[in-house]
Structure 1
């Protein structure tokens, strides 16, 4: 059932005459950091502050006196915002929820709260507040908790699984001549390969929970990237990809652990290869690799024209155990993120579905 107020929200716009509102209170509402929409008991919009106009992307004073249906018919309101307004209306007005969270087209998090009842004298007050910083803190706390749990889990896994795997591997090697006589030599190869894969997963757990202290040395960025290209060129060709390396315009040197830095770039290039093999069309897969100076930093970029990622995947990309791969562990990017942070840098990523992904590694340069 739709209440009388909800029906009034959907009525056509009508002429609105501003009432005698306290100027001091109005000034306060104009300058708070939240967006405000105030509807009276008849569903007419009586007050909108400047932050709310900015959130909606509409001209100032173009909404007073309108109802919800008139707001949705505003040609200046884009399709994405109309969709969010309707979804918020359904969640709070029809389902009776006091608040509603959403992500806007720029990836920012917002919460909408509804205040009504006797204290509002029949009016309905909607407040919009950006909570992106809170979400970041929440995600960081969750990640730290996951890493703490991972540290305890990985130590147990290393002791309880590695030893029997080593024994099994030894016995399979002893049985290899007998399997060869029986014509079942491929069974031994499969078993050994699976044991090695299990050991690799255990190694990833240990690395992610307790990454080694960087062995600091001076690393020429150009030499680092050239070596990574040499290591991955043949694998890329086998997967139908080509790697385009853009030679650096100048010599740039960073300080860090060469093995860890190589691990990060290799991981991202291999991720790019997998994204290209999973894309829908048959276009040639391309991976671009290069670097440029930005002030006192170097920006190393790895981009591909693979299947891309949606915003939900991007939000959880560096979380431990999160993976979209069938046989993935969800630890590669979380380990890479920690390595770069330990080197005083950061990783940023942008992506679009069916268009590709671009990673940028920012690291301080040695002057």
Structure 2
């Protein structure tokens, strides 16, 4: 989401830019397939694909792409299978990385539509032909697919639409490299995902580092509390700010319209409000519910509403890293949210 926002910002400011995406890796690499960065015509880079080993070369390639008005460039950094002229044997991670650099000039007008789709919580598929044995002129042509809509060929290159459809018959919003049945067309598809969200119940001072840390991680926060006087410090920092009554039906109605995949963090420190929010989240079967405080407090919250624990409630919330300060506790909480969203099951 942040990458698209950056592209939109560059387009709005009439700044040419290049989208660099990892299309394949082997061995140990800093980031993996699908990771993206943006380079503008001033040589400024947003995000990174390595620990700093390849960015200088990527920026040079991007500037050359813009200056020569080329559609794409392919860069390979080989530090596993053979000596790399840039990294050498003893520098960087011991892995190979292949990167697609895409000049967005040819479809800059589409960036706004992509951003709007992400705001609607829809995924967007962007595909680019990276090899064409039969017709090299097709290399660099791109298309976009929005959810519940037909594929849209960019730059009005309708002549190759059937070729793309043939190459992507099996692909539904997946990252990867695809070939048509004759092996003549190679297409790389990447997916843009909506920003991840968190629902935070509570607006005390300990929520401030949670919101700030989440913002640094590009998460969107929906905040809810029953105390209007606490809300002002979160203005401009949250996707939504909601003042609710300490009323079960109102709280449940508020949560009813939210995706059950969004994690709910309960940390208002008001016993009655927390108990109502906990019961509502459990009744609606949210997949992740985290509660601030010890397990004894959780048992009392459940007892208050005559509820029993349904599924696993994360209490105390956060990974066990020995956190003590509010800032450290925020890192602990967000670490557990990262683990939830990534589906990682290890310790």
Structures share fold, TM-score greater than 0.5: no
TM-score, L = length of structure 1? 0.22
TM-score, L = length of structure 2? 0.23
Q: Bigger radius of gyration, 1 or 2?
A: 1
Higher helix residue share? 1
